Structure 1
Amino acid sequence: QVVGGVSVGAADMEGDCLSCMKYLMFIFNFFIFLGGSFLLGVGAWVLVDPTGFREIVAVNPLLFMGVYVILAMGAMLFLLGFLGCCGAIRENKCLLLFFFMLILFIFLAELAAAILAFLFREHLTREYFSRELKRHYQGRNNTDVFTSTWNVIMTTFDCCGVSGPEDFDESLFRLLNPNKMVPETCCQWNSYLGDAGVEQCMSSSAAFQHNKGCYSAMVEYFEAYIYSAGALAIVVLAVELFAMVFAMCLFRGIQ
């Protein structure tokens, strides 16, 4: 049957497709909303937990920084899920458009980060890090971001320098600390010798030093995750593209 030049059957089919798309998008974004809520809850619990878990995490600055990353990701997913759910179920074109723009911004930011990482990959060489370490590392200066970051890396990975203890030869650290061969973070803690072992390590004894460089230690650590991270990044980009197409189709289908 044709009414006003428009097939009633076609109109019904279009309405059914729009309704199906609306509920599929609601379900899809509801899971995103739940994921964001869960991450927010975990991050908030770690920060305010009265049982002492916060202090355990705070011992390692990398873990403590991860808590804020979890909170940021949780907030972003919470907002995306909320906008997507409300926009779909209420058929609100403004919310759908905002959802689309937010996803597009995140997608472009991720794409830009990937391009920049590719363009500046030559700066991630062992020689580059060694040169920067010699020029800027100061030892126990916790107010210098570069120095404190390297202290965290060497403590976390039980390593010394970029390639090894020899990286501190003819360095700013040796200039500031002429009586020390390596910083304290390069030393293995020995419960029998205690502070005496640390002093020997810093002054001369290679027996108490971490001889492995941080470059090799970090490459080995992240090598197991690099392919999983790459696959996850592709999946995330595909989901974002899918969400943008879905949102725009629903936006255009709403009368």
Structure 2
Amino acid sequence: MQTREKHCWDAGVCSKWGFCLVLWGSAPGPRSGGRCACAVANPRVYLSLPLPPSRPWEQLGGACLLGIGVWVMVDPTGFREIVAANPLLITGAYILLAMGGLLFLLGFLGCCGAVRENKCLLLFFFLFILIIFLAELSAAILAFIFRENLTRESFTKELTKHYQGNNDTDVFSATWNSVMITFGCCGVNGPEDFRFASVFRLLTTGSDEVPEACCRREPQTRDGVLLSREECLLGRDLFVNKQGCYTVILNTFETYVYLAGALAIGVLAIELFAMIFAMCLFRGIQ
């Protein structure tokens, strides 16, 4: 037993892919076929714990973030139109893409450091994961602070100030037209928003009560034929979508918010575990 304890590793790492479960009064044991034997002083007990010869957690976390970012940008159900309607949301989608790609690549760096038992690579990996972890935590805090930018009043203010009707060359107006056509809604709160939309009223010289995107369409296709363009532009109730888009957007977000929250917590947990494990390997390399 003394011979075993004499060869114990101080850091608790006893093989390339294993580490000791250190109990009270225990000392790490020697290498044993890819497993770790821990010698407990009193009573004398040996525990053997295998660890998998790969570390896919970082790639998994990065793939999750990358997948969410790509899905937000290309989702065909209209989610991308909602995101594009607010600059804060589109910025968040690009941040997800960048963080996911970087985290995915860093996973390979961590694996190389573990396989080669290279302390420099492991330390480099640990520091980068720490930076990403803090950046994501900061992003969550900023999202909470700037949540007022996603309120009904904020959307209404932006719409009344910048909406230009059927001007497809204006990104803001084209995005709002796409949202209203896709979801069959009108304005933020309803058609009455356009009575106070100064730019829209100025461009239409007051002749149109609502933009063409608010008109009801044949349900067969997304860009179906208008039921009656003339009656719609005059504001006739039977030919205008009465529901505001804010309610539609809110309902759509509620569909995905719990899934996104669970994935975010999972990614942060994966990163935290990756940092702990990288530091354990770093301390165990002689």
2:80 maps to which residue?
62
In the TM superposition, what is the alpha-carbon distance from 1:61 to its structure 2 partner? Answer: 9.1
Greater C-alpha Rg: 2
1:46 maps to which residue?
none
* TM-score of the pair, normalised by structure 1: 0.75
Provide Cα deviations, 1:113-154, integer angstroms capped at 9, x if missing partner: 111122122332212211111011112223333223322322
Uncovered stretches (5+) of structure 1, i.e. residues with no partner: 44-53
The question of whether the paired residues in 2 share the 8 Å contact of 1:30 and 1:82 is answered with no
Post-superposition, which runs of at least 4 consecutive aligned residues in structure 1 deviate over 4 A? Answer: 21-26, 33-36, 65-74
1:216 maps to which residue?
247
- C-alpha separation in 2, matches of 1:186 and 1:250: 61
Matched, 1:92 2:118: yes
What are the within-5 Å matches in structure 2 for residues 132-151 of structure 1? 132-151=158-177
Provide Cα deviations, 1:32-87, integer angstroms capped at 9, x if missing partner: 27984xx79xx7xxxxxxxxxx9x96x97928x99988975663343022112212
Q: 1:174 aligns with which of 201, 207, 212?
A: 201
Structure 2 SS opposite 1:211: coil
Letter in 2 for 1:28: R
Matched, 1:207 2:234: no
2:59 maps to which residue?
32
In 2 relative to 1, CA 157–190 (structure 1 residues): closer, same or farther, beyond 3 Å?
closer
- C-alpha separation in 2, matches of 1:220 and 1:61: 11
Q: 2:145 aligns with which of 94, 103, 119?
A: 119
In the TM superposition, what is the alpha-carbon distance from 1:209 to its structure 2 partner? Answer: 1.9
Uncovered stretches (5+) of structure 2, i.e. residues with no partner: 20-33, 35-49, 85-89
Greater strand share, structure number: 2
2:229 maps to which residue?
198
How many residues align structurally? 238
1:50 maps to which residue?
none
Percent identity for Structure 1 against Structure 2: 52
The question of whether the paired residues in 2 share the 8 Å contact of 1:26 and 1:85 is answered with no
The question of whether the paired residues in 1 share the 8 Å contact of 2:58 and 2:107 is answered with yes
* TM-score of the pair, normalised by structure 2: 0.67
Bigger mean CA offset, 99-108 vs 206-215: 99-108
2:215 maps to which residue?
187
- C-alpha separation in 2, matches of 1:33 and 1:115: 24
Letter in 2 for 1:187: C
Matched, 1:155 2:173: no
- C-alpha separation in 2, matches of 1:168 and 1:206: 15
- C-alpha separation in 1, matches of 2:61 and 2:265: 22
CA RMSD of aligned residues (A): 4.0
The question of whether the paired residues in 1 share the 8 Å contact of 2:62 and 2:99 is answered with no
- C-alpha separation in 2, matches of 1:104 and 1:70: 16
1:48 maps to which residue?
none
1:10 maps to which residue?
8
In 2 relative to 1, CA 195–151 (structure 1 residues): closer, same or farther, beyond 3 Å?
closer
- C-alpha separation in 2, matches of 1:186 and 1:77: 42
Letter in 2 for 1:228: L
In 2 relative to 1, CA 138–209 (structure 1 residues): closer, same or farther, beyond 3 Å?
same
Structure 1 SS opposite 2:228: helix
Structure 1 SS opposite 2:169: coil
In the TM superposition, what is the alpha-carbon distance from 1:201 to its structure 2 partner? Answer: 1.7
In the TM superposition, what is the alpha-carbon distance from 1:188 to its structure 2 partner? Answer: 2.1
